[in-house]
Amino acid sequence: MDRAFRRLVHRLHAAELEHLRRVVAEQQAEIERLQQETEHLQREASWADDRAQMFQDALHAMSADTDTSICLTPEGALVALAPA
């Protein structure tokens, strides 16, 4: 009985170890996918920041050239304000 019990425990430990190895492999794959997605989103955010800065610089240059204030409303419309 004792020997049979030890073999059963050994099989259970082996099955548990195999299960944990599968879980770790799945989690590693998910981590790699999320890292790639994060890198992609960071590149997109950087691109958007660069475009926003370029647009802001262009607005400032146009304002200086025309002696008006050119603003962007929260809705995204451009508004030119004459000096007071």
Report the number of distinct structural domains present in the chain. Answer: 1
User: What is the distance between the alpha carbons of residues 53 and 41, in angstroms, rounded to a whole number?
Assistant: 18
pLDDT along the chain (84 residues), means of 10: 85 93 98 98 97 87 80 83 75
Residue-number span of the structural domain to which 22 is assigned: 2-81
- Structure tokens belonging to residue 45: 């955010």
Question: Which pLDDT score, from 0 to 100, does residue 31 have?
Answer: 98
Q: What angle is formed at CA 47 by the lines to CA 54 and CA 61, rounded to 5 degrees?
A: 0
pTM > 0.95: yes or no? no
Residue type, 75: E
